[in-house]
Amino acid sequence: MSKGRFITFEGTEGCGKSTQVKLLAERLKALGHKVRVLREPGGTPIGEEIRHTLKHSQQNHAMTAEAELLLMNASRAQLVREIIRPALAAGEIVLSDRFYDSTTAYQGYGRELDLEQVKSVIDFAVGSTRPHLTLFLHVPAEVSEERLRSRQSTLPFVRDRIEEADRKFFERVAAGFAAIAANEPERIKFVNGAQPAENVCVRIWELVENILPKFGRW
Ligand code: TMP
């Protein structure tokens, strides 16, 4: 078993993951840990090109759900082998903003692809590389929509194909995350993302601390 720790953050748009990944990385680094921060899709040069194709390319309007599933997992297969496995083997703490639960939620529940087939594709992409802990940041749909609107109004407009999906799609994604979290309570921890960021951060630290001491010198 590798020496490192692999922690993933999941949730719907605007759940506050990215802020919390940064805060946790800073805290771990301040304690002397070697920390690797990643995002999906992306995280490698190949993955970032795939991310552009998935989200922002001007040519991506006709993308099918099947192609979307495979591209997400092509990016993931690269990230796992190029970065995650070597980092874990070197004893680093790897934090990823999204991982395969997003595929189950978005492509499985959201796009309504067959869940068994989605699982097979994920298994092929990640092999035995699985998160030790997954933090599922939950926010109600209204909070998610409001945060998304305010983010879109402050940043220069960049088209995002996935964010263009309709409300029903995001309701299925949210229900999907809830189902995934309920199925794997040992790995996936529910965090109320609607609280002020400082409180979310405190809760996350309690959960992360729990998995750190199992690692000898920590
Ligand atoms: P984000 O980095 O801003 O969260 O954007 C990533 C988008 O990609 C987000 O809309 C969720 C979506 N996504 C999937 O649909 N499937 C996946 O497997 C992953 C990792 C992300």
**Is residue 218 assigned to a domain?**
no
CATH of the domain at 126: 3.40.50.300
Q: Report the half-sphere exposure of 155 (CA within 13 A, side-chain side).
A: 10
**Ligand 1 binding pocket mutation candidate from 48, 70, 106 (most atoms within 8 A of CB):** 106
Q: Report the half-sphere exposure of 168 (CA within 13 A, side-chain side).
A: 2
User: What's the pLDDT tens digit per position in 95-115?
Assistant: 999 999 999 999 999 999 999
pLDDT, mean over the chain: 94
User: What's the pLDDT tens digit per position in 68-101?
Assistant: 999 999 999 999 999 999 999 999 999 999 999 9
Q: Structural domain of residue 22, as residue ranges?
A: 5-213
List all residues whose CB is within 6 A of at least one atom of ligand 1.
Answer: 13, 39-41, 72, 98, 102-103, 106-107, 162
**Is residue 34 assigned to a domain?**
yes
**Is residue 58 assigned to a domain?**
yes
Distance 102 CA to ligand 1 centre (A): 7
User: What's the pLDDT tens digit per position in 123-147?
Assistant: 999 999 999 999 999 999 898 888 8
What's the whole-model pTM score? 0.95
**Is residue 183 assigned to a domain?**
yes
**Is residue 35 assigned to a domain?**
yes
**Is residue 136 assigned to a domain?**
yes
Q: Is the dihedral of CA 102, 103, 107, 112 positive or negative?
A: negative
**Is residue 37 assigned to a domain?**
yes
Number of domains in the chain: 1
What is the DSSP code string of 115-148?
A: HHHHHHHHHHHHTT---SEEEEEE--HHHHHHHH
**Is residue 81 assigned to a domain?**
yes
Task: Label residue 2 by pLDDT band (50, 70, 90).
Answer: low
